[in-house]
Amino acid sequence: MRFDVLTIFPELLNSPLDEGIIRRAIQNEQIEVGMTNIRDFATDKHSMTDDRPFGGGEGMVMKPEPLLAATKSVNPQGSGHVVFLSPQGRQFTQQVAASLSQCEHLILICGRYEGVDQRFLDHYVDEEISIGDFILTGGELGAMIIIDAVTRLIPGVVGCSDSISKDTFSRGGLKYPQYTRPRTFEGEDVPEVLLSGDHAAIEEWRFIQAMQRTKARRPDLFAQLEFSAQEEKLLVKHMLVAGRVHRR
């Protein structure tokens, strides 16, 4: 899979791309990541990529010509999926990451200043994506989040495939608590069930812990979950639901 990031600050993402799983994925040729400086496509002697907004107002707006030229340079056939990082876009979730992981070529455009000329967004961007209800100085960190989340869903990038399917949000809820050595830490023991060797009991404990955590911390997510008949019985047994819930 190939990612192309369009930005006026291409060096911002050098460090995250040089570490951990992302670095290994690049070295193993599972992904390619290209950085394109939008300023290289400005047409004036000062390499301006922004200008004052028509109608007045605060700040500056990114010009459409450099953005279009930069986009065409990495997507000449128009076959890539073009994403603009924007607080006005659809919310980035694990499910959105899974859908984007099916793309062969993802172009991530990082805005700056007060926004981007709407004509470019209307005609040359496939979708706008937001990483949350807050404002950053630019889209670069959002682009890196998308690269990270999408890359780890590409088969073979993460060594243990089960860790992907059991991640927080992968089935819609939060993940159960985890423990490792030492067995006792500052007077607190690891839950006995995890030491029992009873895999069925461990799976039941993990499911209930995950659902208790989801209901307590993210009741909005819990309300959307659907369960099998067996899971429903466990939820009733542990008094997490009082009656019938949706079946999947």
Q: Which residues are part of the catalytic machinery? A: 87, 114, 152, 167
DSSP collapsed to 3 states, the chain: CEEEEEECCHHHHHHHHCCHHHHHHHHCCCCEEEEEEHHHHCCCCCCCCEECCCCCCCCCEECHHHHHHHHHHHCCCCCCEEEEEEEEEEECCHHHHHHHCCCCEEEEEECCCCCECHHHHHHHCCEEEECCCCCCCCCHHHHHHHHHHHHCCCCCCCCCHHHHHCCCCCCCCCCCCCCCCCCEECCEECCHHHHCCCHHHHHHHHHHHHHHHHHHHCHHHHCCCCECHHHHHHHHHCCCCCCCCCEC
